[in-house]
Chains A and B, each alone.
Chain A
């Protein structure tokens, strides 16, 4: 198992852990009574979720008229929130799939939680288009199946339908990938449990035994699912960007949208992973598994994607000017200096300026700064979607139909409610499943554990001697 490891690599597992200690550290949070912070967090999340549910029911009962959308600004907070949540969902698959293909070992510390976050974020995102339909009871019309309504089929040429396929595929594949990774860890929980708890975890672990052939197939499945998820995750936000890019609205009708949206999605997703993991590692005492090295690596991704997003903003401005097309020029003039100038500059500051702090190594490794900036980035990415959607629509071709928009209490309530849903799911997840992938951490212990590599490494001979004693 002693693969060649660069002496420059920093350990990803701190403390002189044994396999049993890893099990103990990572499984015990699911076995203990929840602490006060968890209980308070859960109560708040459920309360906010309940209010969100009320606002959704209000929307369905009263109709979309309870929102402040109008004929000019017909997409606003709803689609802003949808795109924002979908973007957040992208980090999970990026960490678990793309980093698996690139053999980045640091993914093992955060992949489980990031994948869970993906699933919950996509659930939150999916809510918005559904309730925006107005008549949610007709939602099954978007599914293509032979029917007695004509036959009447959805329009397969429409990016909105592509989105239905992209997001439902994304949710399904993420769920399969996540759960297959969880099965061996549920077996570990099962084998430590007694009574009813053992029965429940036996069902959840699907009867996993740890047989060599099963592990071989498990690794094969993980690799192929990672290979499938990589183009999938890139396609999902590409297709989300097609919702805008295939329209004829100046400011939306741009070919730069797909890469720009994907970079932005990864950017906001990593920011959300950092926000969550910095809290989780503290509350569950996982500092040995989610180390400063992990945080630094994620900050590097934030710096890269944030800079790509910045370049995309500037390219858009340049192309708008260079095109010589007055409508495009006006759209961008309006974005920066129109009635929503504050959203544009908020976006510019949060997304382009704030990640630049991470050029400095000591700031990348500063947890307080990282936590603060991860929230700033997510505010910025929300502004980005609001700027693209609402401010573009606010000033369309006919000055007589120009309009302004501010959200109603129902829209604010639904957005808040999705936070409630997200955190309720996440808090249940940290109680039920190990937040860090136990089997995967054990598999990298000898190549990334502190006692094997880095400054505090114990020479290899001593370990061999130790294990030969038996």
Chain B
């Protein structure tokens, strides 16, 4: 999925996500090694067919959030008990209930930023990234299955695309 240079891909374009799902199912049944599937919107039911594991982004989000919680709470604790102990309105230095709002906000902030940055980094996306796009219509109305020619022969792929109802078949080096 990442941008590995000089891969010869053969890909077929489908007009509907139901055709795509049927084709992916056929490819999986025939033990054809799918390089990647591209679509203009998330197609549900595709992940189990492609054996994509559930994303662990939310686990990363939890860890970032926990770091945020600790940063805020321990930071305020240190500041108000060691670095700058002050009495505000007769409250104790370590006034835990008053720390809750900031602790909560920092948790959310760290988790959201951390997860979003992780999302772009692991996907290899970001400002200035130029990927090779197989077809301009994949972000419009075409659904694409791509095979790496080194693992699936051109003839086999063409036959597959013909029998599963692909509307177009093309090759591209990425």
Contact = CB atoms under 8 A, between A and B. Distances in A.
Interface of A: 1-2, 18-20, 23, 144, 150-153, 155-159, 161-162, 165-166, 168-169, 172-173, 176-177, 180, 183-184, 187-188, 190-192, 202-203, 206-221, 223-225, 228-229, 231-232, 235, 239, 242, 439-440, 442-443, 464, 467-468, 470
B139 A184 contact: yes
A191 B52 CA distance: 27
A295 to B, nearest CB: 25
A192 B140 contact: yes
A92 to B, nearest CB: 15
B39 A215 contact: yes
A176 B46 CA distance: 26
B68 to A, nearest CB: 10
14 contacts: A1-B21, A144-B79, A165-B102, A172-B112, A173-B108, A184-B40, A191-B137, A191-B138, A207-B126, A212-B36, A213-B52, A220-B58, A439-B41, A470-B166
A235 B105 contact: yes
Interface in B37-88: 37-47, 50, 52, 54-55, 57-58, 61, 65, 75-76, 79-80, 83-84, 86, 88
Given A209-B138, A214-B123, A232-B105, 11 more contacts: A1-B18, A19-B40, A20-B141, A153-B79, A156-B76, A156-B98, A166-B105, A169-B108, A180-B119, A206-B127, A228-B61
B4 interface: no
A19 to B, nearest CB: 4
Interface of B: 1, 14-19, 21, 36-47, 50, 52, 54-55, 57-58, 61, 65, 75-76, 79-80, 83-84, 86, 88-89, 91, 95, 98-99, 101-102, 104-106, 108-109, 111-113, 115-116, 119-120, 122-131, 133-134, 136-141, 165-167
A153 B102 CA distance: 14
B102 A150 contact: no
Nearest to A207: B129
Given A169-B108, A225-B115, A211 B1 contact: yes
Nearest to B137: A191
